[in-house]
Amino acid sequence: MSLQKIDLSVPSISDTHQEVQEYYGARARSADSCCGGDSCCSSNGESCGPLQLYDSSELAALPEDVASFSLGCGNPLAIATLKPSEVVVDLGSGGGLDAFLAARAVGPTGFVYGVDMTDDMLALARRNAEKAGVSNVEFRKGNIEALPLPDNSVDVIISNCVINLSPDKEQTLDEAFRVLKPGGRLAVSDIVIDGTLDDLPLSEVQVRAALHWAGCIAGALTRQQYQTLLAEAGFTKIQVEVQSRYSAEAMAGASELAAWDPALVDKVANRFTSSAVTAVKPE
Ligand SMILES: C[S@@+](CC[C@H](N)C(=O)[O-])C[C@H]1O[C@@H](n2cnc3c(N)ncnc32)[C@H](O)[C@@H]1O
């Protein structure tokens, strides 16, 4: 099933990449003010504090400004069960927080690659690695739709609130499958629609068009779409589990839904979830 068949109203790939790069480049440049305004998941700054996503003991060893820069919507480390010596890739590594936590989990004999397409974000992540004194990590420039990594080279793929931003999710999941070693696993936090957008007074295309792509909501897959694309890429043991739901306030703040009837916003909002997505590449 291609995204054309799924129809997420994806603008062109290059326009989408440009919009996302501009949005997250600005977030990276305003890192000194922590949230820099919007975060990925809520434009009112609600999800800014990574302490909501991570246990404070997980963050204790990192400098405060490094630990406080999260634009994620979950905690992929909590579902990745990383082991010493593993090789990990973080898709859309942002300021590097998950990569640093993964680097600690895999230890000095393991290694973490962060991949991001936004120059200012890569610069921030590299500065943060120095500040945090993490040496078993490298941040590579690249698109998650064409990973700068060889076939069968990675034990675990993590990602936090990024796959929803990809204009070609089928290609992104194919790439994740390609770079994983046989038996390797995927552990991703992402925005996922629980159910469908079929029974609303507006079409799915109209709902998505009213949302903000770079804010991580408009490009979210439904649970069924995620499962289908993962299975088509070759993954097995696929699980998509809801961890929390968006409030109408967060949705209205993040989009043009503010102008809608509050009852409709409510109906749309709690279908958008932060979910844990896990899958395995067969041996
Ligand atoms: C919502 S932020 C999440 C950052 C990080 N994972 C975190 O939890 O803080 C999305 C990040 O993914 C990057 N990104 C989005 N789409 C991408 C793509 N197609 N290829 C590579 N990087 C991408 C952005 O530049 C940004 O740094």
Q: Which CATH architecture has domain 3-280?
A: 3-Layer(aba) Sandwich (3.40)
Q: How far apart are CA 112 and CA 235, in angstroms?
A: 22
Structure confidence at residue 209 (pLDDT): 79
For residue 118 and ligand 1, the question of a CB distance below 6 A is answered with yes
CA 249 to centroid of ligand 1, rounded, Å: 24
Name the closest-CA residue to atom 26, ligand 1.
Answer: 94
Low-confidence ranges of the chain (pLDDT < 50): 1-4, 34-39, 41-49
For residue 89 and ligand 1, the question of a CB distance below 6 A is answered with no
**Helices (DSSP H) in the chain: which residue ranges?**
3-6, 13-29, 56-59, 64-67, 77-80, 97-106, 119-132, 169-179, 204-209, 223-233, 248-253, 262-269
For residue 168 and ligand 1, the question of a CB distance below 6 A is answered with no
Most informative mutation of 47, 116, 121, 143 for ligand 1 (most atoms within 8 A of CB): 116
For residue 157 and ligand 1, the question of a CB distance below 6 A is answered with no
For residue 215 and ligand 1, the question of a CB distance below 6 A is answered with no
List the chain domain ranges.
3-280
Predicted TM-score (pTM) of this structure: 0.92
- Helix 97-106 / helix 119-132 crossing angle, nearest 10 deg: 40
What is the identity of the amino acid at 103? Answer: A
Most informative mutation of 100, 117, 164 for ligand 1 (most atoms within 8 A of CB): 117
CA 218 to centroid of ligand 1, rounded, Å: 15
Number of other residues whose CB lies within 10 A of the CB of residue 23:
18
Structure confidence at residue 45 (pLDDT): 37
Which tokens in the block code for residue 77? 């480390």
CA 93 to centroid of ligand 1, rounded, Å: 6
For residue 254 and ligand 1, the question of a CB distance below 6 A is answered with no
Structure confidence at residue 23 (pLDDT): 93
Q: Which helix (H) or strand (E) holds 277?
A: strand 272-280
Structure confidence at residue 11 (pLDDT): 66
